[in-house]
Amino acid sequence: MRLIDSQIHLWTDQAAASKMLQQAMSAEEIIAQMDACGVSRTYLVPGHSGANELCVQAAKKWPERFKALALLTLDKQASRDIVTQWASSGFIGARLTFPPYREVSWLDDGTADWFWPLANELALPVMMWAPKRAATIGELAQRFSRIRFIVDHINLFVMDKAEAVEREVSSVLQLAHLTNVAVKVSSLPAHSSEPFPYRDMHGHIERVVQAFGADRAMWGTDLTRMACSYPQAIAMFTEHLPFLSAEQLQSVMAGTAEHWLPWGEA
């Protein structure tokens, strides 16, 4: 089975990673983990905007293993420059975060408004993390139909477990009718209240696949954050989800990511 990880962060250093309760890994360390587990390709997502160039350089050095997403800090001119010079940026898509702890969301105060028309014109894949704002994602997907919206981690907040997971997943399922929205069933061990194979997450995965289809659900680990080993993150899907057919499983583990984030682009 082909395995493509839809998200692993790169950080410039451990201090930056520690602020987000993560463990920094170098590109070389990530490749070693991939090789050990049979993961052929990974989409690199900067852990912070300072790591944007680090991701691009890794993708250039190992073009058959990595593609880079740009983490856009929408209130900074540097992010505008990346988008306006997209063809030469080295990125294949963008990643946006709208954390609920921000006093006024950039989704509400106009900070993000410049981005959507440009992204729509470019038909960008946009990984988006906006806990408790699934309805807003839906509104944007309807207005900007050429953007490929990819909802990160089923839109779960870092600390979500149990009922909080149920509520957020239910909100995300309301977006299933929007054909330009896909979902990453990623980083789920971190939201489980059970040991491996994290059975309290299985029903949520099944609901996402039933609603969106396997061709709009993609596996990913968020390896530097994970609450389990890389082999366990793979086995959770490949060995413990009997409701997925072989064809569906191959889509979730590789095919969907390749379709929504085409490897030949950039």
Instruction: Count Cα atoms within 13 angstroms, Cβ side, for 241.
Output: 29
Which residues are bridge partners to 220 per DSSP?
Answer: 186
| CB-CB neighbours of 193 under 10 Å | 10
Span 159-205, pLDDT tens digits? 999 999 999 999 999 999 999 999 999 999 999 999 999 999 999 99
| CA nearest to 109, candidates 74, 85, 139 | 74
Rounded CA separation 8/27 (Å): 10
Model confidence over 42-64: pLDDT tens digits?
Answer: 999 999 999 999 999 999 999 99
Task: Report the sign of the C-alpha dihedral through residues 134, 168, 181, 231, in that order.
Answer: positive
Closest CA to 34 of 55, 5, 61: 5
User: How many C-beta atoms surround the C-beta of residue 251 within 10 A?
Assistant: 23
pLDDT tens for each residue of 70-91: 999 999 999 999 999 999 999 9
Q: How many CB atoms lie within 10 A of CB 45?
A: 26
| pLDDT over 90 percentage in the chain | 97
Ordered structural domains, the chain, with CATH: 4-260 (3.20.20.140)
Tokens matching residue 58: 């890794």
If we measure between CA atoms, which residue out of 31, 43, 8, 33 comes closest to residue 254?
43
